[in-house]
Amino acid sequence: MNRILSQLQLFVSKSSILVGGQAVMEGVMMRVPGAYATAVRDHEGNIQIDRHEFKSIIKIYPFLNKPIIRGIFGLFESLKIGYSTLQWSANIVEGVEKNEEASKLAEISITLFSVLLAVSLFFALPIGLTSWLFDQDQDALSFNLISGLFRITFFITYLLVISFMNDVKRLFQYHGAEHRVVYNFESGEKVDIINAQSFPTQHPRCGTSFMFIVLLSAIIIFSIIDSIVISIIGDISLPIRLLVHLPMIPLVAGLSYEVIKITARKGDSLLFKMLRAPGLWLQNITTSKPEDRMVEVAIVALKEAFGDKFEEMQGKEYVAEAIG
C-alpha cells in the first residue's frame, strides 16, 4: 500500500495522457492517443498483434467533451473496444479463423447478454429484494442505502466466485501485468520487464475501482431522484422506481468517471484517499502478480499501440488518464 501511495504522489504535477487498457484472453489491450493494440500469446508461444487507428467521438465532436457527458460516451467506446478485442483474443487462443460476420454477431450477442446480466444482477435484483424484504419504499435514503449494500455485496461476491476459475485467474494476472506496465510508463523509467515488475498491480483508475465508485454514486443519485418523485406524486412503487432509475444509469456512470479522475489526481486529500481505498482493495481480487511472459505481452501491446512514437513518448512522467 505504501508503494501505491507513493506512486499517487507522482500524479499531482505530471502531464496527462490517455494510456490504459484491459486484460484479454492470454493477452493485453493497450489504448493510447489515436490508436489501440492488442497483444496475445498464441498456443505456440508467439505473440500476435492486432492494431487499430482510433479517434474518439469526443475528439470528433468537441462539444461532447464536457464533464459527465464525456464519461458516458467514453464508457460506451471503451465497452465497444473491449468486447471486440476480447473476441479477437479468444479467436487467437482457440486457433479460430476470424469471420467478420460471425465476429460482429458474437460481439452484439455478448454485449446484449452482458448488459442484461449487469442490469438484472446489479440493478433490478437489489431493488426488488429491498422492496420485498424491507418496508422502506417511501424512505428514499434508507431504501437506496439498503439496495446499494445489496449491489456492493453482489459485486464482491461475483468477483470472488469468478476468481476461482482457471481462465479468470490468468486473466487477472494479465490485468496485473497491464497495470504494472502502465505504472512503468507513467514513471518515466525505461519500460521493460524488470522495471515493470517492481510496480504495484493495483491502479487508481482501474475498471474495478470505477465500478465501485459507480455503486456508491448510484446510492446518492437514486436517493435524490426518489425524493423528487415522492415529493411530486406522494409515493413510489417498485415499477415506477425501476422505470425512473434505469435511465439514470448513464448519468451515474458519467458522474463516476469524473469522480475517479479527480480521486486519482488528488493524491494528498484524505477524502479522496478514502474514496480510492475500497477500489484499490478490490483489486486484490481482480489483479494478481503476473509472470514475466505476461508482462512481456503487455509491453508489446503498449509499444505497438504507440508505434513509431513509442521512443519519443518513453522517459517522461505522465498521469495516465484511462480506465483499465
* pLDDT averaged over 10-residue windows placed end to end, the chain, 324 residues: 50 65 94 93 93 89 88 86 88 74 65 79 90 88 94 93 93 96 90 95 86 90 93 88 90 88 68 80 94 97 92 74 55
pLDDT computed for residue 117 by the predictor: 82
The pLDDT score that the predictor gives to residue 98 is: 60
Reported as type and span, the H/E element at residue 213 is helix 207-233
DSSP SS3 for 35 = strand
In three-state secondary structure terms, 323 is: coil
Evaluate whether 100 touches 128 at the Cβ level (below 8 Å).
no
First vs last Cα of the chain: how many Å apart? 19
pLDDT at 149: 95
pLDDT of the residue at 201: 94
Q: How far apart are CA 127 and CA 104, in angstroms?
A: 33
In this predicted structure, what is the pLDDT of residue 312?
A: 84
Q: What is the pLDDT of residue 77?
A: 87
User: And the C-alpha cell for 31?
Assistant: 489504448
Domain count, the chain: 1
Q: Which of 52, 301, 274 is nearest to 175 (CA)?
A: 301
Which pLDDT value is given to residue 129?
93
Output the pLDDT for position 10: 46
- The answer to whether the beta carbons of residues 85 and 38 sit under 8 Å apart is yes
Q: What long-range pairs does 81-84 form, CB within 8 A, spacing at least 24?
A: 81/29, 81/31, 81/36, 81/54, 82/22, 82/29, 83/107, 83/110, 83/111, 83/114
Q: What range defines the domain where residue 104 resides?
A: 2-320
Predicted TM-score (pTM) of this structure: 0.86
